[in-house]
Structure 1
Amino acid sequence: MNKEQQEKDRFCQISSILYDASQPIRILTHLEWNRDIKREFFVNKGKELPRVKYPQFDSSKTLSLVNQARSLLGDTDIDKWLERTAVKLEYGALMMASAGTKKFYEFSEKLYGKPTNPFADGKSTPLELANTFDKQISSYANYDLGAPPPMCYLASGIAEQMREAVIKMFGDEAPKVEIVDELSANALANPNLIRIRKTACFTDLDAQQLINHEAYIHVATSINGLAQPHLKILAAGHPGTTKTQEGLAVFAEYISNSIDLDRLRRLADRIIAIQMAIEGADFLQVYQYFLERIGNESQAYENSRRVFRGGVLTGGAPFTKDGVYLEGLIRIHNFLKAIVTNGRADCLRLLFCGKLDLEDIPVLYKLEKMGLCQLPKYLPPWAKDARYLLAYLTCSEFLGKMDMTKIYAHYDELLHSIPKAIK
C-alpha cells in the first residue's frame, strides 16, 4: 500500500471514530422539558421559576473516542479539520454533562457563541442585527402589508404538504412525517422522521417555510452525509455544524420567499432574550418580555424555555444556540456573495454534501479532489437550479460595493418631504 492510500485510510478511520463519538450527543433531546413543568408553571400563575431536573449524562464514551481519534492525527489541513471536529464533540459532551449549572453556559458559548461576538467584519454583532431588525420591523406597524387575515392552520394540513414535498424530492429515501403531542419546537427533522407538534398553530407561510428549512436542508444534508462512503463524520449533526446548518436553513426560507417579518422578529427576539439572560435576567423576567411582545402566555413560555433549557433559570447562564439562526443567515449570505465575487460557483454544491461548517469548505474541496468526499445526491431546488440564486447574488454583490451613506442621505432628503400619513 502506497503512502497516499495510507493517508486516505487514516483520514477515513479518524472520521469513523469521530462519527461514533458523536452518536451519544443528542443535545435537544437531553435538554427537553416535559409538559408537567409547563403545567405547574401556569398552576402557579407564572409567578414561580419552573422546576427542572435533567438526566445524568455520561460523557466518557464520547471523550474516550475523541482521545482515540486524536492519537491518530497528523499535521495536515485535513487533520486540523478533524481536530476542530473533535474539540466540538468534546465540548458538546461536556455541555450535556453540566446541564443545569453555570458550566453549561461556558460550553454553550464556546459552541454557539453569544450575541455580542462580532461577525467577520470585526464590528457588527448578532445583537446589533437583532436590534436593527426589531427597530425596522416596528416601523412597519402602520403599514398594510397586504397579508391575508391571520388564521391557524392545523398540523394535519402542514403534515400532508410536507409528505408530498419529501416524497417528490427523496423518493424511496423520504422520511416519514408524523404528528406528535410533545415537541421542543413546532417541527424537528432527522433523515428518517419529520415530527410536527400537534398543538402548534401555523401561519399561511409555515408549510413552505418548514419544507424549505427542515426537509430541503436538514433532511437533505443528513441523507447526503449518510451516503458518504468514506467520511462518516459528515452524517453527524454535531454542535460544530449548527451555525452553518441553521444559517443554510434560514437562508433557504429567505431565497424561497417563505420567510416573513414575523419570523424575522421571532429570530431577533431570541437573540435579545439570550442577551437579557446573560446580563442576569431570570426566567420570569424573560417570560414577561415575551409576553409583552406577543401577548400569548403559552408561546411566551415556550420562547423562554428555549433560552433557559440546560442553563440556570435564575439568570446569567442561558443556552445560546438560538442566536445562531440569524448569525448563520448572515454568514451564509456573505459566503455565497463571496462565491460570486471570486467566480467560485463550483463550491456551491459542497455546502450540501453533509453536516459541515463553512470553514470546512477548503478541506472538503481537497477531500473531493482526493475522491474521499462525494458531491451531494440531493440539493434544495434553489441550488439545483441556481439561476435565480446566482442572479440575485450577482446584483447583491454590486450593491454591497456602493457607498450607502451617500445613497441613504440622498433618499432621506426625498422621503422627509413625504407626509407619513401615506401608506
Structure 2
Amino acid sequence: MIQSPKLNELQREYADIFEIDANLDRLVKKIELLSYVNPLNIEKEKHQFFASKYSVDPEFRYPKLKFSPYKLHRMFFSQRLERIEDEQIRTMYKEIIYYYSNMVQCIETIGQKKKFHYNSLRVYGSPTEKDVENARFILHYADEPVSGEMEKIFTAEEAKAYFEDFAEQYDFPLNIKFSTHIAAEAMVSNASQSLLIKRNVKFSKNQLHTLANHEIGVHLVTTYNGQQQPLKIFSNGFPKNVETQEGLAVFSEYMSGALTLKRLKELAYRVLASDSLIKGYTFSDTFDLIHGQYKLNRDDAFTITLRAHRGGGFTKDRLYLSGLKKIYKRYLQEESMEPLLSGKVSLDYEQPIQKLHKLGLAEKNQFTNLAYLQNLNMNKTLDFILNNLK
C-alpha cells in the first residue's frame, strides 16, 4: 500500500470517498456468497443420487446466515453518496451498493429455488444465444487422446506441496486449507486470503498446472493487489467482476500451456447447465443432458450439474467462457492486462478506475501474472476455437 503520509493526505482530500468506501468494506466482509452457496452434504447426496439411478434429485443443506439481511440492506442504502462530488465516482459507488444489495438477496434466498434463481440472474445474468452457440461449437470437437498428464494420481497433500512450490515465484504468503464443503477441487477464498483444496480427491498433473495458474496466478494475485490499493473496493470487488476475473484466470491457463480441449469443454458444459435453468430443468434433467446426451462421465457431470443447481439455480458458471472470449479478444488487440489485475475489478469499470488512478486513489500493481509474459500454448485447435467464438 502507498506510504502513510501520502495516504493520510489523500484521506483528508477525499474524505467522503474514503468514508463511504470504509463503510461498505465493513458491510461487505459479511457476504462472501460462495461460503454460503456451497452445500454441506455434497458427498452424501451424490451417493444417494447415483444409488437412485439418477432419478431422485438431491436435497442439499446450506450454512446458516451469520448476519441480518434486513440490517445490511438498511446500512447499504443509508450511505450519503451525494457527498461525493465527482459524478463518475458517485455513480460507481451507487452501482456498487446495488450490486452488493443484490448479493445479499441471493444469500438470504439460498435453497428457495425460484427466488434464489431470480436473484442469481440479477447478479450473474443468463447465457445469451451466442454463449450457447459457442458452447455447442466447442462440444462438437472430438475428444483429444488422453495423456498420462490427465491421470488423477496426486493426493490433496501432494497438491498442497505443488501449489506451495508454484507460489514461490510470487512474493506473497500462501495460506492453504483443506475443505470438504466446496464444489470445486480448489478455490480461493478472498475473505480469508486462502487457497482451499478439496479433501479426499485426486488430481492429475495437468489439473495441478491448471489450478496453479488459475487460482494462484490470477485469483490470489488480484486478492493481494487489491489489498495494496488505497480503496477497499479493489479488494471487495466491483460489479460484474466475476466475468473479468474468471476470464483472466482461464486465459492464464491458456498462456501457461495448461489449457486443454477437455477443460474448454468443461466450460462449455457449464454454459449449457446454466442455460438449462432458464428452461426449468430439474437437477436430474440437467444431469441427463450432460451425462446422458453428451456422454460426459457421471462424476464430472454431477459436479457441473451441482455447480449450476446449488442454492436453487446459480448462473455464475456461465461467465467463464464469455469472460475468456473477452480477455482473449483484448489479448489479440495487444491491450495490457495490468489494469484488470489491480484487484477484483471489471472490464465495465475501466474508465472510473482510470479516473481513480489520475486522482491518486489507485496504485500500480505489486504483483503480476507471470504466465502472461510468454504464450506457451502449443494447441492449434484451441487457437482456432478461440479465434472463432462469436
> Do both share a fold (TM > 0.5)?
yes
> CA offsets, 1:65-118, max 9 Å, x none?
32133544556111111122111101101111122231222221121111126x
State the match for 1:281 in structure 2: 281
Select the structure of larger CA radius of gyration.
Answer: 1
SS at match of 2:163: helix
> CA offsets, 1:277-302, max 9 Å, x none?
21122111112223234554333322
Alpha-carbon distance in 2 for matches of 1:61, 1:22:
12
Q: How does 1:370-381 map to 2 (within 5 A)?
A: 370-381=359-370
State the match for 1:129 in structure 2: 134
Alpha-carbon distance in 1 for matches of 2:149, 2:173:
33
Alpha-carbon distance in 2 for matches of 1:381, 1:219:
13
Note if 1:64 corresponds to 2:97: no
- Equivalent residue letter for 2:119: F
State the match for 2:314 in structure 1: 319
Deviation at 1:6, TM superposition (A): 6.2
Alpha-carbon distance in 2 for matches of 1:270, 1:201:
21
Alpha-carbon distance in 2 for matches of 1:176, 1:64:
34
Structure 1 pair 38–70 and aligned structure 2 pair: CA distance change class (3 A): farther
State the match for 1:106 in structure 2: 118
- Equivalent residue letter for 2:60: V
> CA offsets, 1:199-245, max 9 Å, x none?
333233111111110001111111111121x2011111476311111
> CA offsets, 1:236-280, max 9 Å, x none?
147631111111111111111111011000110111122122112
Deviation at 1:334, TM superposition (A): 2.4
Match of 1:24 among 23, 26, 30: 30
Work out whether residues 62 and 89 of structure 1, in 8 Å CA contact, stay in contact via their aligned partners in 2. no
Note if 1:366 corresponds to 2:355: yes
Root-mean-square deviation (CA, aligned residues, Å) is: 2.7
- Equivalent residue letter for 1:201: K
SS at match of 1:169: coil
- Equivalent residue letter for 1:65: M
Alpha-carbon distance in 2 for matches of 1:295, 1:357:
32
Structure 1 pair 267–388 and aligned structure 2 pair: CA distance change class (3 A): closer
Work out whether residues 159 and 179 of structure 1, in 8 Å CA contact, stay in contact via their aligned partners in 2. no
Deviation at 1:308, TM superposition (A): 0.5
For structure 2, list consecutive stretches of 5 or more residues without a partner in the other structure: 1-9, 377-382
> CA offsets, 1:151-178, max 9 Å, x none?
21323332211011223312xx312223
Work out whether residues 257 and 375 of structure 2, in 8 Å CA contact, stay in contact via their aligned partners in 1. no
SS at match of 1:168: coil
Work out whether residues 274 and 315 of structure 2, in 8 Å CA contact, stay in contact via their aligned partners in 1. yes
Work out whether residues 84 and 90 of structure 2, in 8 Å CA contact, stay in contact via their aligned partners in 1. yes
State the match for 1:94 in structure 2: 105
Alpha-carbon distance in 1 for matches of 2:177, 2:358:
39
Alpha-carbon distance in 1 for matches of 2:46, 2:244:
31
Question: What is the percentage of aligned positions where both structures have the same residue?
Answer: 26
Work out whether residues 21 and 89 of structure 1, in 8 Å CA contact, stay in contact via their aligned partners in 2. no
For structure 1, list consecutive stretches of 5 or more residues without a partner in the other structure: 118-124, 312-317, 390-395, 405-423
Work out whether residues 149 and 204 of structure 2, in 8 Å CA contact, stay in contact via their aligned partners in 1. no
Q: How does 1:18-417 map to 2 (within 5 A)?
A: 18-33=24-39, 34=41, 35-54=43-62, 57=65, 58-71=68-81, 72-74=83-85, 76-99=87-110, 100-116=112-128, 125-135=130-140, 137-138=141-142, 141=143, 145=145, 147-148=147-148, 150-154=150-154, 155-170=156-171, 173-190=172-189, 192-228=193-229, 230-237=230-237, 240-292=240-292, 293-294=294-295, 296-311=297-312, 318-338=313-333, 340=334, 345=336, 348-383=337-372, 386=373
Alpha-carbon distance in 1 for matches of 2:34, 2:89:
29
Alpha-carbon distance in 2 for matches of 1:188, 1:150:
20
SS at match of 1:69: coil
Give the structure, 1 or 2, with the largest relative contact order (CA under 8 Å, sep 6 or more). 2
Work out whether residues 180 and 195 of structure 1, in 8 Å CA contact, stay in contact via their aligned partners in 2. yes
- Equivalent residue letter for 1:95: C
Alpha-carbon distance in 2 for matches of 1:38, 1:19:
37
- Equivalent residue letter for 2:354: Y
State the match for 1:412 in structure 2: none
State the match for 1:421 in structure 2: none
